[in-house]
Amino acid sequence: MKKKIGLVVNVNLQTKGMLGIKNKTIGQAKGFSSNGVIVSLFCCDGPALVRLLFLDGQLTKTEVLLPAIKPLTFFSELATLFSEKSYSNDYWYFRYIPMMDDKMVLCAEKCSTATSKVFFEVPTFPYHKELSTEWAETDRLLQDKLQPYVSGVFSPSFTENNSIFLGHKIKKISNGVDFDLIPPLEKQKDTTAFCLIGVGWISNWHGYDRVIKSIPEFISKHPDIRFCFYIVGDGPAKINLQQLVESLGLGAYICFTGALTGKALDDIYKQCSLGVASLGLHRLDPNGTFEVLKVREYLARGFPMLISHNDSFDYSRFPGLYRTNGDEGFVNLSFFYQKVRLFWQSEGPEVHAFSAKEIFSYKEITKNILSFMAEAGERAS
Indicate whether 365 pLDDT > 90: yes
Distance of CA 99 to the CA centre of its chain: 19
On whether both 338 and 375 belong to a single domain, the answer is no
On whether both 142 and 197 belong to a single domain, the answer is no
On whether both 127 and 220 belong to a single domain, the answer is no
Q: Who has greater pLDDT, 310 or 144?
A: 144
Residue 65 falls in which region: left (phi positive, over 0), alpha (psi -120 to 50) or beta: alpha
- What average pLDDT is seen over the chain? 92
What is the predicted pLDDT for the residue at 104?
Answer: 97
Which residues span the domain enclosing 45? Answer: 4-176+361-380
Which neighbouring-strand residues pair with 276? 306
On whether both 123 and 246 belong to a single domain, the answer is no
Indicate whether 381 pLDDT > 60: no
214-252 pLDDT, tens digit per residue, is 999 999 999 999 999 999 999 999 999 999 999 999 999
Indicate whether 27 pLDDT > 70: yes
Identify the weakest region by mean pLDDT among 89-98, 138-147, 160-169, 264-273. 160-169
On whether both 27 and 145 belong to a single domain, the answer is yes
pLDDT band at 284 (very low <50, low <70, confident <90, very high): confident
What is the predicted pLDDT for the residue at 160?
Answer: 62
Beta strands 168-169 and 164-165 are: antiparallel
> Looking at the whole model, is its pTM more than 0.85?
no
- Number of domains the chain contains: 2
> What CATH number is attached to the domain comprising 274?
3.40.50.2000
What is the predicted pLDDT for the residue at 159?
Answer: 58
- Count of helices and strands (H, E) across the chain: 11, 16
On whether both 259 and 282 belong to a single domain, the answer is yes
On whether both 118 and 239 belong to a single domain, the answer is no
One-letter identity of residue 323: R
Q: CA 212, 272, 348, 297 torsion: positive or negative?
A: positive
The conformation of residue 184, written as its DSSP 8-state character, comes to P
On whether both 139 and 247 belong to a single domain, the answer is no
Cβ-proximal residues to 271 (8 Å cutoff; 6+ apart), any chain = 190, 193, 195, 228, 230
